[in-house]
Amino acid sequence: MGIDLVLFDLDDVLVDYSHEVRCRTLGERIGRDADAVRAALFGSGLELQADLGRIDPEGVAATLAATLGTPVSVADCVAARAAAMTPRPELGEIVDALARRCRLAVLTNNGLMVRDHFATLCPPFAAHFAGAVHCSAMYGIAKPDPAVFAHCAEALGVAPSRVLFIDDKAPNAAGAVHAGMSGHHYQHLAGLRSALAAHHLLESIAHGS
């Protein structure tokens, strides 16, 4: 069967992502050091709760403000997240070409902030993924649980068998396969090109480094 939709992971696939830059940037905006931000956001489990949809972006900002003893806005959190993300030009070329052949979407283990502010966080990819950014927070479960892939496919209105999922973590790619999708463990560009070629999605993609 052919592929109607290519479903991408976000961090370390479409973009390079850095916890360090995110914590440092947020700290600079609110007048706290990066270590304090890291403890409040990641060490406390707050980010995980957001990823599972148990707290919304406003709640995250309010919790950070209470923990760190200083005002924190959603805009501060968005700016820090944006600073931590560097779109990969080589993936941009592939996405541009794929968009002419099939549907595209994102499935990421993230809170609703990434969905709601995707255009600000990732402008180069905003047009191709508009309205098609799906986060674990939407479903209350995270990759690699096969159920999150099934829910995402249902929400997108596409049969799992018609989806190719791409993720830099092997267990997540395996979870997609268990849900009935095709899965590719992204490790390098050559491997991705090969996977796309195997599904007859590569013809219009120029080969580069």
The CATH number that applies at residue 43 is 1.10.150
Residue 209 within any structural domain of the chain: no
- CA 44 centroid distance within chain: 22
pLDDT grade, residue 198 (50/70/90)?
very high
Verify that 124 and 75 share a domain, yes or no.
Answer: no
How many domains, in total, are found in the chain?
Answer: 2
Verify that 91 and 194 share a domain, yes or no.
Answer: yes
Q: Which residues contact 78 (CB under 8 A, 6 or more apart)?
A: 113, 117, 120, 121
Verify that 74 and 155 share a domain, yes or no.
Answer: no
Please tell me the predicted confidence (pLDDT) of residue 1.
64
Please tell me the predicted confidence (pLDDT) of residue 209.
36
Residue 204 has pLDDT above 80, yes or no: no
Please tell me the predicted confidence (pLDDT) of residue 34.
98
The pLDDT tens digits for 62-78 are 999 999 999 999 999 99
Mean pLDDT of 103-113: 98
Residue range of the domain that includes 63: 19-83
Q: Which residues contact 47 (CB under 8 A, 6 or more apart)?
A: 41, 60, 111
φ/ψ (deg, to 5) at 158 = -135, 140
pLDDT grade, residue 202 (50/70/90)?
confident
Residue 207 has pLDDT above 50, yes or no: no
φ/ψ (deg, to 5) at 86 = -120, 105
Residue 16 has pLDDT above 60, yes or no: yes
Please tell me the predicted confidence (pLDDT) of residue 3.
96
The pLDDT tens digits for 24-70 are 999 999 999 999 999 999 999 999 999 999 999 999 999 999 999 99
Q: 3-class DSSP state for residue 159?
A: coil
Residue 206 within any structural domain of the chain: no
Which among 83, 117, 134 is the end of a domain? 83
Residue 205 has pLDDT above 60, yes or no: no
Residue 113 within any structural domain of the chain: yes
The pLDDT tens digits for 140-189 are 999 999 999 999 999 999 999 999 999 999 999 999 999 999 999 999 99
- Residue 209's alpha-carbon distances to 90, 91, 189, 197, 206, in angstroms, are 8, 11, 8, 16, 10
Which among 50, 83, 116 is the end of a domain? 83
Verify that 91 and 191 share a domain, yes or no.
Answer: yes
Verify that 121 and 61 share a domain, yes or no.
Answer: no
Residue 193 within any structural domain of the chain: yes
Please tell me the predicted confidence (pLDDT) of residue 203.
66
Alpha-helical runs (H) found in 69-145: 74-83, 89-98, 112-116, 118-121, 123-129
Residue 176 belongs to domain with CATH number? 3.40.50.1000
Residue 42 within any structural domain of the chain: yes
